[in-house]
Chains A and B, each alone.
Chain A
Amino acid sequence: MPVADLRAAGFDDEVEKVGTAVAGYLDDGVGGNVAVVSEPYAGREGLLAYAQSLLDNEARWVALEPDAADGSGPALPDPIVGTDGESGEGDGSDDQGAGRAGATEDGPAAGALIVADCHYLFERRIDGFAALDAFLDRIALSDALVVTSWNRYAWSYLDAVRDVGDTFTTTVEIPPLDAAEIRTVLEHHYDERPDVVDAGGAGRVRTVVFDEARVPLPAGRSVGVPYPKPNPAWTASWSVSGVEESVEAVVFEKLRRVSNGNPGVAMAVWKESVRDGEIAPGYVKAFDTDLALDDDAAAVLWSVLAAERVGVARLSALFPERPVEAVLQNLAERGLVTVADGVVAVAPRALHLAVAALERRNMIW
Chain B
Amino acid sequence: MVTGAGGVGALWNRPVVAQSASAGTSFTTENIATAAVTLVFAYLLATTMSRLLSGLADRFAARRFRVMILIPIVKFLVYGGALYFVLSVLFELTQTQLVAFAGLLGAAIGLGLKDLLADVVGGVVVVLEQPFQVGDKVTLGGHYGEVVDVGVRSTTIVTPTDTLVTVPNFTLFNESVANANTSDAEMLVTVDFYVDPDADVDRATDIVTDALVTSPFVYVADDAPATVVVEDDLYYRTLQGRAYVTDLRSEVTFKTDVSERVLAAFDAEGIQSPKVPAGVDDPTE
Contacts and interface: CB of A to CB of B under 8 A. Distances in A.
B214 A361 contact: no
Given A290-B59, A362-B62, A365-B219, A125 B214 contact: yes
A11 interface: no
A324 to B, nearest CB: 13
Contacts of B260: 321
Contacts of A299: 216
Contact of B216 (A126, A161, A363): A363
Given A361-B246, A363-B246, A161 B219 contact: no
Contacts of A128: 210, 214
Interface in B203-226: 207, 210-211, 213-214, 216-217, 219-221, 226
A353 B86 CA distance: 49
Contacts of B63: 360
Contacts of A124: 214, 216
A126 B247 contact: no
B220 A160 contact: yes
B134 to A, nearest CB: 18
A232 to B, nearest CB: 14
B89 interface: no
B220 A361 contact: no
Interface residues of A, number: 19
Nearest to A300: B216
Contacts of A161: 213, 220, 226
A124 B210 CA distance: 9
Given A161-B226, A321-B260, A363-B246, A126 B61 contact: no
A129 interface: yes
B205 to A, nearest CB: 12
6 A-B pairs closest in CB distance: A362-B62, A362-B246, A299-B216, A161-B213, A126-B210, A160-B220
Interface string B91-135: 000000000000000000000000000000000000000000000
Interface in B231-270: 246-247, 250, 253, 260-262, 265
A360 B62 contact: yes
Interface residues of B, number: 26
A302 interface: yes
A290 B56 CA distance: 12
Given A124-B214, A128-B214, A161-B226, A361 B207 contact: no
Contacts of A295: 216-217, 250, 253
A28 interface: no
A321 B253 CA distance: 13
B60 interface: yes
Contact of B261 (A126, A362, A365): A126
A321 B219 CA distance: 21
Contacts of B250: 295
Nearest to B220: A160
A362 B185 contact: yes
Given A127-B265, A360-B60, A362-B247, 6 more contacts: A126-B214, A126-B262, A127-B210, A161-B213, A298-B216, A362-B61
Contacts of B253: 295
Nearest to A124: B214
Contacts of A127: 207, 210, 265
B136 interface: no
Contacts of B265: 126-127
B260 to A, nearest CB: 7
A128 B60 CA distance: 31
B186 interface: yes
29 contacts: A125-B210, A125-B261, A126-B207, A126-B210, A126-B214, A126-B261, A126-B262, A126-B265, A127-B207, A127-B210, A128-B214, A160-B221, A290-B59, A295-B217, A295-B253, A298-B216, A299-B216, A321-B260, A360-B59, A360-B61, A360-B63, A361-B61, A361-B62, A362-B61, A362-B186, A362-B219, A362-B246, A365-B219, A365-B221
A267 B220 CA distance: 34
Q: Which interface residue of B211, B220, B262 has the most chain A CB atoms within 10 A?
A: B220
B220 A365 contact: yes
Interface string A105-144: 0000000000000000000111111000000000000000
Interface in A307-365: 321, 360-363, 365
